[in-house]
Amino acid sequence: MAITSGVGRRMLVISAVLVMGAAGSAGASGIAQIIHARQNHFRTLGRTAKSIRDQAGRSHPNWAVVEADADRVERLASALPSWFPAGSGQGHGVRTRARPAIWAEPRQFARFARRLLHRAQQLRQAAASHDVRALRLRARSLGRGCDSCHRRFRAHRSWWHLW
Ligand code: HEC
């Protein structure tokens, strides 16, 4: 009887650890890695979008650069949802501006991400067409796609201390 309950208790501990492992995913250092990788991806996205805007501001854009950048933006936009696994928000001692709403309203968040991808696809088409006016239009539309998600799902810098 004593042995049975001991085994039972041990099983309980083991399953509790497994459940925590699933929910908390990779542990504190794993979460830090996920958050830092996410922020790096966003910095690349930001640099690439800026490069496109710079080219779009020229009367003769370098279309090889524009096409490579647009391709990259589209690939990043399609990967974006995977940068936000459950449990990679605030509260792990890692600075992140990812608001809890991302996981509380997953369908809304997914909609903003899809919208960005759609705009990135239109941008790539404009890049392939070598049409400067279309490029400017689509680059602006992409920028609005970034801003609208940031307004809703990215915390203001001065709120960082809340992590
Ligand atoms: C679906 C929502 C969403 C979209 C669309 C989006 N972002 Fe973000 N972005 C975020 C969130 C959330 C963060 C905060 C990430 C964090 O701190 O962990 C962020 C952070 C960033 C950062 C700061 C990275 C750092 O240094 O910490 C940059 C730069 C950025 N985004 C650029 C862009 C650009 C450019 C676009 C459009 C091409 C874009 N984002 C589209 C949600 C989005």
pLDDT digits (tens, 9 = 90+) for 42-70: 999 999 999 999 999 999 999 999 999 99
- The residue among 84, 75, 123 whose CA lies nearest residue 102 is 84
**pLDDT of res. 32:** 95
Residue 88, pLDDT above cutoff 60: yes
- CA 61 / ligand 1 centre spacing (Å): 26
- CA 29 / ligand 1 centre spacing (Å): 22
Residue in the structure block whose two tokens are 């903003």 = 112
Instruction: Measure the CA–CA gap between 143 and 140, rounded to whole angstroms.
Output: 5
**pLDDT of res. 19:** 38
Instruction: Measure the CA–CA gap between 69 and 53, rounded to whole angstroms.
Output: 10
- For CA atoms 80, 86, 90, 92, give the dihedral sign: negative
Report residue 157's pLDDT band, with 50, 70 and 90 as the boundaries.
confident
Name the token pair of 67: 């096409």
Name the token pair of 143: 């920028």
Q: Is the shortest distance between the CB of 83 and ligand 1 below 6 Å?
A: no
Residue 103, pLDDT above cutoff 70: yes
- CA 129 / ligand 1 centre spacing (Å): 28
**pLDDT of res. 159:** 56
- The residue among 106, 88, 91 whose CA lies nearest residue 26 is 88
**pLDDT of res. 18:** 39
Nearest C-alpha to atom 41 of ligand 1 is from which residue? 146
Residue 138, pLDDT above cutoff 50: yes
Residue 21, pLDDT above cutoff 60: no
- CA 45 / ligand 1 centre spacing (Å): 8
**pLDDT of res. 160:** 53
